[in-house]
A and B are shown apart, each in its own frame.
Chain A
Amino acid sequence: MKALTFTLRAQPEERLDLSALIPDRLDGMSVAEIAKLRIGTSRRPALVGDIFKIRGENRSHIIFDGGSRRFDRVGAGMSGGMLFVAGDAGAQAGRRMSGGMLVIEDNCGPHAGSGMAGGRLEILGNSGDYLAGPLAGEMLGMEGGVLIVRGKAGHYAGDRMRRGVLAILKGCGDYAGSRMIAGSIVVTGRVGAMPGYLMKRGSLLFDRRPETISPTFIDCGRTDIAFSGLFDRYLIDDKILDKPLLGRKPGKYGGDNAVLGKGEILFRMGR
């Protein structure tokens, strides 16, 4: 069966809510029914058929041929299957996803992977602020799964994260891992100011010593732990990185001692 493909006719004139177009919700629907789904968010909302040409049958493998910064909530709530966006995405891509695989070929907006609990989200370009973070008023950010940004991430990546692996490969903005509860955040490339700000537990894993950290993080020296080898191997086996991140003896800062202080920043020494 060919993948169900939504080919973009023209750039949309309003922001779209694409959370309806996920494998879970399209299962069993005909193309005509899908074409009538509302995805616009204005007073006269657009339907799927207005924006996309629809081809293919396989409801568990969905492709958006062409993307836009107005594609909000792509793959939000998906729990299985595969969704591929050949282009940009807007806000909240993969929000609350719990399974399956979501790939965004270019950049995406803020709150990508917000509150995700499982599955794998890969963003091949850059992501906006609050990557994996909670929306205003929510207590928890990412709760599981794997989120990979092959480009840069904005500020507050991994805010209030509780579980899972978040990897950012070309650096991130300020306050990475702020208010983190647990989980692992990997960053290769330059890290902005104050990583781990108010983190309680959890691990920030960097390929270099962070430039500016909060004074409430304390230098714990050079560690000699088996965990770095195990985690480096996982990152390579899972095709997140192609070379070891931490090395055998990473440096460590413990913090944030402004709060519980059981978190850690582990980083490769010598850079």
Chain B
Amino acid sequence: MQQLIRNGVAIDDTFAEAFGMRATAIIITAPTLKWARQAAITMTGYATSVIGCGCEAAIDVDLPPSKTPDGRPGCRVMIFAVSTDELQKQLKNRLGQCVLTSPGSACFAGMEGGTPLNLGSALRYFGDGWQISKKFGGRHYWRVPVMDGEFLCEATTGMTREAVGGGNLLLLAADAEKALVAAERAVAAIGKIPGAIMPFPGGIVRSGSKIGAKYKGMTASTNDAFAPTLSGVVKSALDPEINAVLEIVIDGETSDAVSAAMRAGLKAVIDLGPKRGALRISAGNYGGKLGKFHYHLKDLLP
């Protein structure tokens, strides 16, 4: 494979292959940022991959009190799924179990337009007849009495069909420690891009997969071509000096958000250089036949 060199880091001439998804966003607020984030982290737990979790979700950005509807600190959470029905189901369950229950929380639409997805309109029945509907300023809210006051929740949020899931970067390094340093730098840089989330633990995946397996019923299995301990025994994609690979997976509100995120991640890893971080950067694809969106690394270089 042809490679480009930037700051001593080799970049494969390949592309990340990503898929169209449905996405929604909500704003969670609380008396402090700590508790807004706690509600958001709980809500986005077990939401790394649509394969096993039904949705992919994470915090997009933290919001200062001046940027939230109720003047309290908060954060914007994005949720991605493959269908509108699944997205609504995941949203309702996660909101009901994780945000409604979190101390002092309130929840607002984080996206406009598209098919409206129920927030408060689904949870209001928890009020057992004491829920209060409020319409003002062109918006609709529900107030549900709870034990620490009220759960304030906007009736609906918006949805987009323009979302993209599966943008990615593979960071290849001399050892696991350096791979992790490079990945952490990339996560920090991508975290600043609005409209893009990294749903995996801390934004990082260590178990990249290939499609299919030798076992019946397994739709995905380990990406042996990128597994360093197999580099001698399988058709490996790794050079001899590579001993660890980590992946960053990115979901974006739009295709542009995914490219911006990949660009930021690439820049961060290239700036770090090969001595402390990654020797080589690649990306995952399925030959280009499955996903509608292709992000060529060479187009995203700083």
Chain A residues near B (Cβ < 8 Å): 144, 163-165, 182, 184, 201, 203, 223-227, 229-234, 237-238, 262, 264
Contacts and interface: CB of A to CB of B under 8 A. Distances in A.
A184 B70 contact: no
Given A224-B149, A225-B152, A229-B70, A238 B143 contact: no
B80 interface: no
Nearest to A232: B71
Interface in B262-294: none
B134 interface: yes
A162 to B, nearest CB: 11
B216 interface: no
A231 B139 CA distance: 11
B230 interface: no
A66 B133 CA distance: 41
B37 interface: no
B215 interface: no
A229 B72 contact: yes
Interface of B: 29, 69-72, 104, 106, 129-130, 132-137, 141, 143, 148-150, 152
Nearest to B65: A229
Given A225-B143, A230-B70, A201 B135 contact: no
A226 B133 contact: no
12 contacts: A201-B132, A203-B134, A224-B149, A225-B143, A226-B149, A227-B70, A229-B72, A230-B69, A230-B141, A232-B71, A262-B130, A264-B132
A223 B151 CA distance: 12
A163 B138 CA distance: 12
Contact of B29 (A144, A226, A232): A226
A223 B130 CA distance: 15
Contacts of A230: 69-71, 106, 141, 152
Contacts of A234: 136-137
B136 A231 contact: yes
Give the residue among B72, B104, B129, B136 with the most A Cβ atoms within 10 A: B136
Contacts of B70: 226-227, 229-230, 233
A208 to B, nearest CB: 21
A116 B106 CA distance: 31
B149 A237 contact: no
Contact of A182 (B71, B129, B133, B152): B133
Contacts of B135: 144, 163-164
A86 B156 CA distance: 41
A226 B130 contact: no
Given A184-B134, A201-B132, A233 B150 contact: no
A266 to B, nearest CB: 11
Given A201-B132, A224-B148, A224-B149, A229 B71 contact: yes
Given A233-B69, A233-B70, A262-B130, A227 B150 contact: yes
Nearest to A223: B149
A165 B141 CA distance: 14
Given A230-B141, A233-B69, A225 B136 contact: no
A224 B105 CA distance: 12
Nearest to B150: A225
B32 to A, nearest CB: 13
A264 B132 CA distance: 10
Nearest to A238: B137
A246 to B, nearest CB: 12
Nearest 10 A/B pairs, CB to CB: A226-B106, A230-B70, A225-B150, A226-B152, A229-B70, A229-B71, A226-B70, A225-B149, A224-B149, A234-B137
B137 A237 contact: yes
Contacts of A227: 70, 134, 141, 143, 150, 152
A231 B72 CA distance: 13
A184 B136 contact: yes
